[in-house]
Chains A and B, each alone.
Chain A
Amino acid sequence: MSSQPTPSRPGPDRRTSTLQKRSSVLPKPSSIVLDVSVLIAQHAQLTGTHAITVGANSVLHPHCKISSAFAPVVLSEGVVVYERAKVGLGIGDSGEVGGDSRRSSVASARDASSGRSEGTLLGNNVVIETNAVVEAAEVGEGTVIEVGAVLGRGCVVGKFCTVSAATVLAPNTNVPDYTVVYSGVERRLDKTLQARPELQEMKAFQHARQIEMFKKLVPNQVVKWM
């Protein structure tokens, strides 16, 4: 598939013969806007009808799934999405499997107007760890969504937050800046990070080094999606 000489994308019917076995049956996104420095590993899936935007230096690990089936997805700079993580509305349990139920949830997505435009926005340097499910409306910069966490739709998570492993956030929860959500329902303010901006800088620095490492180790298949 990567040996296509023509830069224009062929239509869907001609594409099916060269489909990878594991890609989803949803139509390819109408527009994927990728920065040139993005790293997309093989077997990553970007699906859906709405727009997907991926900012500079982002890393999408193998088998991660970005779905814009119901709403556009925007990943800012330096976002790292680990393996088997899912980003996008309707990708978790709130979106049922199956075609006709998809129609109904699309309709409900349009009806349930929460006053903000539907979509998922991940801020700079956000890390979505393995097996997390992010249907949230917005995740602020520097936040870490740890392994297996589930963010319901419409969640708004502030910046430099930490959602610890296996935490489930109900839909439409609001997590203020610098909050650590741990132990199920407990929350506390991460005063260390709040009080020391140099710690934030250090985090950003280490994050950048990690992205460099990924670029060296993970083969890049971004040309497939350009």
Chain B
Amino acid sequence: MAQPFPYTYYACDCFDSNTAASASRAAQTPADDEDARTFDPRSPRSNYALYPLEHLLYCEDCQQIRCPRCVIEETLNWYCPSCLFEVPSSVVKSDGNRCTRNCYNCPVCTSPMTVSSLEKPTEPSATGGPYILACPYCHWSTVEIGIEFEKHTGITNQLSRIANGGKTLPTQKERDKERERRKEAEARGGIGGRDILSGSEDSPTRDGEGNAAPPGHDDIFSNLSAFYKAQMQAQTPSNPFSPHDLNFSSPSTYSRIMNLYSSTASKKQKREKPALMREAASALEGLALHDPASDIAAIERIKKEGWASTLSPARKLAQLNPHVRFDSELRPTASLLCTKRGKRCRSCRHILSKPESKITSTRYKIKLLALNHIPRLSLRALSPATTTTTPGPSHPPFNYNALRPGIPIHFLLHLSNPLFDPIRVTLATPSTTPGAIASRITILCPQFDVGANTDVWDDALSSSLSPIAKRSGDAQFEAGKIYDRGRNWTAVVLEVVPGFVTPLGGKRDEADGDVKGGGEVDADLLEIPVFVRIEFEADVSVEERGLGDSRGSKGEKERREEAFWTVLGAGRIVDV
């Protein structure tokens, strides 16, 4: 996550809470044990644990921050992004995750298509003329694949009935009927002479043309799925829990019952194993044999129409049938549905974020953000010029990308408290930053209070926190004293002495010109790990009271304490 300096990242606890992690940690060198306690922003694992405060949620039951890896998402509702129509999840389970109304995307450029009418303004027709789907961006339309619609609604139904070129596609019922009829015709025609590639002999009218064209993608699919359904039905007993059910349609049940009642030796050879499941054996069952003639036809077509008539892999794969090759076989793709999701805590299943169920509203019913429970730390450089008078145009702004090593730089760490109670903050940081370049960090005031996030008027009326007079502009940073405070924030000073990128007077080991210490990427990045611990007294909520507590005690405060690691990105150290 590249952010401009200075930034603050918060570490989620999930990065070191597993036992697996501790087991692997035992195998590490003792030097790393030190790092196991202090947070090392340079370790590869911390890459996955650091998030800006805006990305984090907070679970009130567990009283911990939850990063995007510690939450479970669940979909609340499905909707189409172009027509904004909510699709119930039962319909999604049966019809699929695409819009079944009129929302289609262009197969060429993926922009949403519009339904336009082909009627001539001079001769208006009854229904408003034939309709087509047209793309307003690349001007592709269903005219190019030969499809026109009669009505402008229910495009999905109409599209499923028409193949490219205007031929009608049979529906599922018609396919079933046709399949049954053909099966009977084949069974009647006898077993001999049944050649797979040629059609059945005694087929009347329709089959002549049906066998000339190879079965389409959808035909093969429907044949195959019907075949597998039949196989599975034959295998599993209809009711596994009643052995006395005389259901002879399932061969396994039949054989089992027959074995029960006829256990004489003479019948043993008649005992057959139940028929194994077999694969499809004919075109009617979904077997699609590869026909080299189709390849030759495709090659001839490329020779005739040119390379531009073939489809690129991206367009092919976006189609429902990814084996199409030519742009006359393109079909409009229905828009994918989008979801609205809520998030839950992974450990206690408490809802952390829940959007409103209305599709068009972007608000949230429940929104437990870390912003409202964790103090916000922000870093700002405090160059001596800015403390005196207001910086005029002659003072250059502080360059975070060019921190000079060896010179102490002061940063202002600003903590703002979102809670309604005053908190006591303790900060801790290792004295030198981990990593190749060791910069010395000193927090001048490691323990201080921050006021509660009360209303502005409350604070003005009461004077619990005596207002501290504005600093009279001196540049003294005293250890043990805060720099400034306000109603719900406090600022303290951090003194940083950046380390040297290349060791002073040291030899350069690398032969190449890359002088970053240790050859690491971003070794000159000054990141300060700070451990923040806040203590406060909060009202005890109803669920947290134990069973033994009396109900009458209200307003009882309980001490609470929270702690987390943060990483303050201060800048980049230049090589002097």
Interface of A with B (CB < 8 Å)? 162, 164, 180, 182-183, 186, 188, 190-193, 195-196, 198-199, 201-202, 205
Contacts and interface: CB of A to CB of B under 8 A. Distances in A.
B371 to A, nearest CB: 38
Interface stretch (B135-143, B194-202, B452-460): B135-143
Given A198-B118, A205-B121, A182 B144 contact: no
A199 B134 CA distance: 12
B91 interface: no
Nearest to A182: B138
Interface string B77-90: 00000000000000
Interface in B114-150: 118, 120-121, 132, 134, 137-141, 143-144
Contacts, number: 38
Given A182-B109, A183-B109, A191 B121 contact: no
B84 to A, nearest CB: 25
Interface residues of B, number: 14
Given A192-B144, A195-B143, A196-B143, A182 B118 contact: no
Contacts of A201: 120
A164 B111 CA distance: 13
B134 to A, nearest CB: 7
Contacts of A162: 139
Contact of A192 (B109, B121, B134, B137): B134
Contacts of B143: 191-192, 195-196
Which of A188, A192, A196 has the most chain B CB atoms closer than 10 A to its own CB? A192
Main SS of the interface on chain B? loop
B137 A182 contact: yes
A196 B120 CA distance: 12
Contacts of B140: 188, 192
Given A192-B140, A195-B144, A202-B121, 16 more contacts: A162-B139, A164-B137, A180-B138, A182-B109, A186-B109, A188-B138, A188-B139, A190-B139, A191-B143, A192-B141, A195-B143, A196-B118, A196-B143, A198-B120, A201-B120, A202-B120
Contacts of B137: 164, 182
B108 interface: yes
A204 B68 CA distance: 55
Contact of B144 (A183, A186, A191, A199): A191
Cβ-closest 6 pairs across A and B? A192-B141, A192-B143, A190-B139, A191-B144, A180-B139, A182-B138
A183 B314 CA distance: 15
Nearest to A146: B137
A156 B141 CA distance: 26
A176 B424 CA distance: 74
Contacts of B132: 192
A199 B132 CA distance: 12
16 contacts: A164-B137, A182-B109, A182-B138, A183-B109, A183-B138, A186-B109, A186-B138, A188-B108, A192-B134, A192-B139, A196-B143, A198-B120, A201-B120, A202-B120, A202-B121, A205-B121
A166 to B, nearest CB: 12
A107 to B, nearest CB: 41
A94 B439 CA distance: 54
Contacts of B144: 191-192, 195
A198 B122 CA distance: 11
Contacts of A191: 143-144
Which of B120, B139, B140 has the most chain A CB atoms closer than 10 A to its own CB? B139
A151 B357 CA distance: 48
Nearest to B134: A192
Contacts of B120: 198, 201-202
Interface in B142-178: 143-144
A119 to B, nearest CB: 29
A29 B248 CA distance: 98
A192 B140 CA distance: 7
Contacts of B138: 164, 180, 182-183, 186, 188
Contacts of A188: 108, 138-140
Interface string B471-490: 00000000000000000000
Nearest to A188: B138
Nearest to B143: A192
Contacts of B109: 182-183, 186
A193 B139 contact: yes
B25 to A, nearest CB: 51
A183 B143 CA distance: 22
B139 A199 contact: no
B145 to A, nearest CB: 10
Interface in B84-115: 108-109
A169 B266 CA distance: 89
A10 B137 CA distance: 48
Contacts of B141: 192
A14 B20 CA distance: 92
A148 to B, nearest CB: 15
A11 B132 CA distance: 58
Contacts of B134: 192
A66 to B, nearest CB: 28
